[in-house]
Amino acid sequence: MTRPQGMVIRVLNYNILWDAIFPDDDPNNHIWRDVDKSKAFRRILRAVRPDIACLQEINPVRDPADVGAIFDEELPLADGRLWQVVKSGDNYIVARFNLQQNGFALRVNFEVSARVDLPDASFGDTDLYMVCAHFKSGGGQANIDERQRQADLVMSQVREFRTAGGRIELPFGTPYLLLGDFNVYDTDPHYHLTTLLSGDIVNEDRFGADVLPDWDDSSLADALPTHNGAGQLDYTWRSDGSGFAPYALDRILYSDSVMLIVNKFILNTSLLSAQELSAFGLSADDVVIKLASGYYDHFPMVVDFVILAGE
């Protein structure tokens, strides 16, 4: 979990399980919320220290300031600056940098998009664009079709900023991320992931022609971190009593022509040693919902990027 030296952007992706990062008595907790992991989330934040977070399953009626306040309290910024938050639906982007949402995004309830204004002193004129999404859950053809529709829509958004004069104006070579809970089930066809990686739009009559998503006309890359950066475990969701095998439902896709991964891991506190837990101020059950039944839900994903554009 130690952060690499240098000009690194640390990104956290986490489906937090319906307002579990807030205390039990918070009046804005979602009706589905049945667990309190607020203290665990704060420990995770202090240990991971992200620059940008993509969070899912936060009550859409909640004031973004409620989310920003947690980051402000646990990871205070210099000079009285506050963490910035934008949201759409249950998706929230939180960043230590300025966020520009209006004019750069096609906002729909299953995703929120923003341009992250990286400091010029460190990154020059290069900024970062990101789409934080929570795709439709559930099995059955209707839900599979909806996930594909959502992927087609995201790729139409990519085509907008890959095309000069599009409705989303990004300088050529702007690094970008597509990340979130994509509900990539191993039990169902998940061509929507193929669409997000390759730009192959299924419903071209509605969403337009295919797009080569990366700036060098190639596919995007899938970060696929492993548990604590060691071994081969790469599942991001687990619930032993559900009847479904653990799987990588969540993904961080990126434009690898202009971004380089220098470190990545899925935080699994249940696999850390006592010495590691103590060193990072974590508890063994911080990513566990109900240990007795093997219910973990989603795990925090962390990737450290170096921006290559403009070098």
pLDDT higher than 50, residue 103? no
Q: Which residue bears the tokens 């990519």?
A: 158
Q: How confident is the model at residue 311 (pLDDT cuts 50, 70, 90)?
A: very low
Q: What is the pLDDT of residue 107?
A: 54
Question: Tokens at residue 189, please?
Answer: 């066809």
Q: What is the pLDDT of residue 165?
A: 81
Q: pLDDT tens, 239-283?
A: 999 999 999 999 999 999 999 999 999 999 999 999 999 999 999
Global pTM reads 0.96
Q: pLDDT tens, 141-177?
A: 999 999 999 999 999 999 998 888 877 878 999 999 9
The pLDDT mean for the chain works out to 93
Q: What is the pLDDT of residue 167?
A: 79
- Among 36-40, 46-50, 119-123, 275-279, where is mean pLDDT lowest? 119-123
Which residues have a Cβ under 8 Å from the Cβ of 169 and sit 6 or more positions away?
A: 103, 104, 161
Which residues have a Cβ under 8 Å from the Cβ of 285 and sit 6 or more positions away?
A: 40, 269, 270, 291
Q: What is the pLDDT of residue 164?
A: 83
Contact 55, 18 (CB under 8 A): no
Domains of the chain with bracketed CATH: 9-307 (3.60.10.10)
Q: What is the pLDDT of residue 163?
A: 87
- Among 182-196, 254-268, 297-311, where is mean pLDDT lowest? 297-311
Q: State how far the Cα of 280 lies from the Cα of 197, in Å rounded to an integer.
A: 34
Q: What is the pLDDT of residue 124?
A: 83
Q: What is the pLDDT of residue 48?
A: 98
Helix, strand, coil shares of the chain as percentages rounded to 5?
25, 25, 50
Q: Which residue bears the tokens 């949402």?
A: 101
Q: What is the pLDDT of residue 309?
A: 53
